[in-house]
Structure 1
Amino acid sequence: MDSLTTAFRSGQKPAFPAEAGTLEYAQSLDQQDKLRHLRKEFIIPTRSSLKKKALNGVIPGERDDEKENSIYFVGNSLGAQPKAVRRALESQLETWASIGVNGHFTTFENSPLSSWQDLAESCARQSVDLVGAAVPEEIIYMNTLTANLHLMMATFYKPTAERHKVITEWKPFPSDWYAVQSQIRHHGFDPSTSLIEIQPSSDIYLSTESILAAITEHASSTALVLLPGIQYYTGQLLDIKTITAHAHSLGIPCVGWDLAHAAGNVPLHLHDWNVDFAVWCTYKYINAGPGSTAGLFLHQKHHDKNLNRLEGWYGADKSVRFLMEKEFKPSSGASGWQLSNPSAIDLASVGAALGVFESVGDKYMESLRDKAVVLTGYLEHLLEGLIREEVGKKGSQNAFRIITPGNPLERGTQLSLMLREGILDSVSEVLAEEGVVCDARKPDVIRVAPVPLYCRFEDVWKFVEIFRGALARA
């Protein structure tokens, strides 16, 4: 497996052996997996639990029967539940019940959690490797991704008659699109002239060259570049370092990134890449639960500047926060952008989920990436075998194609499959019947995400066998 990892991480696609299409080969890769123990730290929905119609007090997986587990390939939408989150929530509820309001200032000796008013900063300290920050003060956990995006645009998007454009890509996640359009209109400009969409260079692929060319073309009139670290629909990983440096070299004042599909998925080095700001959610690859508190990165170079911001109580420094004074004295770094006091329940979930990453060891994102590139590469290899089978059938039309880049350096753990028109519902029905959970994006795309924290090579093999049967039925 080490040789596969080395090849994929260098951007190559190694040749798998002839027996790679067997269950035994997949199981052999699982035996070589140094991170296989992490799966036991998660609760994977079972085939029976997916059919629940009412709560019954039964937690999936309590029987520890792997045959019952679903194939959970939807961590790009909602991650599986870490067992640590359940323990953290129980600790939080006991704290609240036992000492009430004093939980804001008290940390129990045997608690996995800090006092409530320190929880956000505690999560920031856990996330330095997650996003590649220089110091924890570059990170804060608060609000939701879109709310944080609005806060960052309120600070950095200062359009003028000469420089008012926002550059994004052709198919952003809708929430980003809505936020950007509303910010442009809020400042009295028209999205039809102030919002620039970078179009694919071929089919649906966004080449780095086409992105750089669009930035160059509009540089003199651009106030903000806002792009996704990983494009949610295709799973393409953009070259954050190169794009950020290019935009800055042309005098564009701010480059921001939506890392919803990148944080917890691929290694990031936001400080070294000179990213101005980034926002991300925590319910996908970070596994903190639906709607859990989002993260924000603000580069250290901005910390000492007198930047405009929308101010709120929790952005005030802790030394004056409870003095109730009218003068705003901001906390240092990104925490100075906090508004109201955050949900301690949500932050307990985030902290516990981040603790699973920390358990991997130093430079945990590099270790996870080592497994992810092979896991995704193995999935691609088996799917390409299916495509060859389809081509080999007399008069057969391809039932699907992979629209995620084949270059391992241009993707995370997600492969997006575009099905032949009209078969998505039929294929999805079979997958669900067989206990496969993945994400469909109409009209024709299935997004498949084998997350390295809790997914196995055996899961990949089983998925492809089930998918083969679903295509035959469709």
Structure 2
Amino acid sequence: MQFENSREFARQLDKEDKLSKYRNEFILPKVNGKDVIYFVGNSLGLQPKTAQRYVDEIMKDWAELAVEGHFYAEKSWWDYHERFSEKLARVVGANPAEVTVMNTLTVNLHLLMVSFYRPSGKRYKIICEEKAFPSDQYMISSQVRFHGYDPKDAIVEIKKRDGENNFRTEDVLAKIEEVGEECALVLIGGVNYYTGQVFDMATITKAGHDAGAFVGWDLAHAAGNIELKLSEWNVDFAAWCSYKYMNSGPGNASGCFINKKYHNKKDIPRFEGWWGHNKERRFLMEPEFQPEPTADAWQISNAPILAMAPYLASLEMFDEVGMPALIEKRNKIVAYLEYVLHEIDKDVESSFEIITPADQDKRGTQLSVFLHGEGKELFRYLMDQGVITDWREPNVIRLAPAPFYCSFEDMYEFGQILKEGILNKQKV
């Protein structure tokens, strides 16, 4: 499609957008009396209007049924988490039995590493990407120390080539082959949080398995954003937060994937608790743990129902729309944003460098942009004008136009505000 940098053209794209109606299903904050242009769905998604109703239902059941809500609420609490399995499985490309919701992201990664980081003999190293999201760095480092290893020796980082902004798949594969029999685990973020690059998860997973290692993925920036086929790729485990593209609310519950080949095993290393016990026998209070025959065996405590309610509200929309439609709009709106940035770049003295891959198959709902010649004052100007975006040192802004609630006119308007902010500074 031949794009145009005009309001009329952007509005026409919105008229043609089959998902445009979903914008009205979210609550947009306002600045100066106008809806914001919201680019930070990769940090915290907007609140679905239905979320309040889902929470209120639980509060009402709690008030009227008290403890009996576990069994007699319309959405009974004792199996509330099971309502996620089929819908989430469609989002991440899994069998419903392989998906569960519990705890929060880093907690779940720690718990999953009990099962899938089993250092023994010379096989003790973990391969990850350099400058992974700090929480992953801290988590991995603490895990290897817990097992008695030095992080400087046990953690092997895949690096970008000098002068390049993104990782090369061939370099990842070469590092896995190099570490070889010393590799116990490959654990990488499926989408790099800084650049928005999507890793070739299928190819990397196979390479890790060929080396005899477990392979897991942190899908914080991938779930609800890109096409995932965790079962088909034979991934061992994965975890993701729900508050970014999946709009569940700040710090909310995490989703987990555990490959079915690890189900129905009593001898697998795993921290266990009451809610992972066979649900049909759970209230018999038996002394010996009998795991659920699904990913729910990794559940420890009973589900945080109030926290999960907004997640379920959002997930209903994902199931209604489907990932293919979201990805189709994602590709189009990100491409239009990219076009607008290049058009504005022609009119200003500053230069923009988009460090996210140009190939749509290697990126999701994010463009990371170096603002050469610009500082944080431009970011503050954008925020003051109602453009909510994300600043990363030294001078990168991350722009994530989530397809559920961002419009093509937002992209055009952002370009005008960005241009005005740069030109006004240049006049001074």
1:366-385 matches, within 5 Å, as 366-385=324-343
Structure 2 match to 1:349: 310
Structure 1 match to 2:118: 158
1:138 to 76, 98, 108: 98
Aligned mates of 2:60, 2:343 — CA distance in 1: 53
Q: CA deviation at 1:388?
A: 3.1
Q: Does structure 1 residue 337 correspond to structure 2 residue 303?
A: no
Structure 1 match to 2:400: 449
Structure 2 match to 1:82: 48
Q: CA deviation at 1:152?
A: 0.7
Structure 2 match to 1:128: 89
Structure 2 match to 1:462: 413
Unaligned segments of structure 2, at least 5 residues: none
Letter of the 1:304 partner, please give it. N
- Show CA shifts across 1:128-186 (max 9, x none): 1110012x110010001000000111111111231010000011000011010000000
Letter of the 2:338 partner, please give it. E
- Show CA shifts across 1:356-404 (max 9, x none): 11121xxx111100000010001001111222334xxxxx4x4431111
Partners of 1:167 and 1:222 within 8 A in 2: yes
- Show CA shifts across 1:391-446 (max 9, x none): xxxxx4x443111111111100100112236x332111111111111111222111
Structure 2 match to 1:401: 353
Other structure's SS at 2:222 match: coil
Aligned mates of 1:424, 1:97 — CA distance in 2: 52
Q: CA deviation at 1:472?
A: 2.4
1:210 to 171, 175, 181: 171
1:215-294 matches, within 5 Å, as 215-252=176-213, 254-294=214-254
Aligned mates of 2:138, 2:385 — CA distance in 1: 37
Partners of 2:158 and 2:172 within 8 A in 1: yes
Q: CA deviation at 1:34?
A: 0.9
Q: Does structure 1 residue 413 correspond to structure 2 residue 354?
A: no
Partners of 1:123 and 1:347 within 8 A in 2: no
1:15-30 matches, within 5 Å, as 16-17=2-3, 20-30=4-14
Partners of 1:424 and 1:445 within 8 A in 2: no
Name which of structure 1's ranges 274-283 and 324-333 shifts more when overlaid on structure 2. Answer: 324-333
Other structure's SS at 2:346 match: helix
Aligned mates of 1:311, 1:267 — CA distance in 2: 31
Q: CA deviation at 1:304?
A: 3.1
Partners of 1:426 and 1:470 within 8 A in 2: no
Aligned mates of 2:227, 2:64 — CA distance in 1: 40
Q: Does structure 1 residue 297 correspond to structure 2 residue 257?
A: yes
Other structure's SS at 2:239 match: strand
Q: CA deviation at 1:48?
A: 4.5
Name which of structure 1's ranges 178-187 and 424-433 shifts more when overlaid on structure 2. Answer: 424-433
Other structure's SS at 2:280 match: helix
2:109 to 149, 163, 183: 149
Seen in structure 2, the aligned counterparts of structure 1 residues 48 and 89 have a Cα distance that, compared at 3 Å, is: farther
Q: Does structure 1 residue 322 correspond to structure 2 residue 306?
A: no
Aligned mates of 1:137, 1:250 — CA distance in 2: 27
- Show CA shifts across 1:309-336 (max 9, x none): 0011111111222222211111121101
Aligned mates of 2:180, 2:315 — CA distance in 1: 38
Letter of the 1:317 partner, please give it. N
Q: Provide TM-score, normalisation by structure 1.
A: 0.87
Q: CA deviation at 1:261?
A: 0.4
Q: Provide TM-score, normalisation by structure 2.
A: 0.96
Aligned mates of 2:406, 2:297 — CA distance in 1: 38
Aligned mates of 2:414, 2:329 — CA distance in 1: 18
Other structure's SS at 1:101 match: helix
- How much identity, in percent, do the aligned residues show? 45
Unaligned segments of structure 1, at least 5 residues: 5-15, 50-67, 109-113, 391-395
Partners of 2:118 and 2:184 within 8 A in 1: yes
Partners of 2:105 and 2:254 within 8 A in 1: yes
Calculate the aligned-residue CA RMSD, in Å. Answer: 1.3
Structure 2 match to 1:56: none
1:98 to 64, 87, 90: 64
1:160-179 matches, within 5 Å, as 160-179=120-139
Structure 1 match to 2:29: 45
Q: CA deviation at 1:84?
A: 1.2
Aligned mates of 2:84, 2:68 — CA distance in 1: 20
Structure 1 match to 2:319: 358
Partners of 1:399 and 1:471 within 8 A in 2: no
The count of residues paired between Structure 1 and Structure 2 equals 423
Partners of 2:264 and 2:292 within 8 A in 1: no
Structure 2 match to 1:196: 156
Other structure's SS at 1:335 match: helix
Seen in structure 2, the aligned counterparts of structure 1 residues 103 and 424 have a Cα distance that, compared at 3 Å, is: farther
- Show CA shifts across 1:84-130 (max 9, x none): 1111011111011110011111232xxxxx21111111112221111
Other structure's SS at 2:224 match: coil
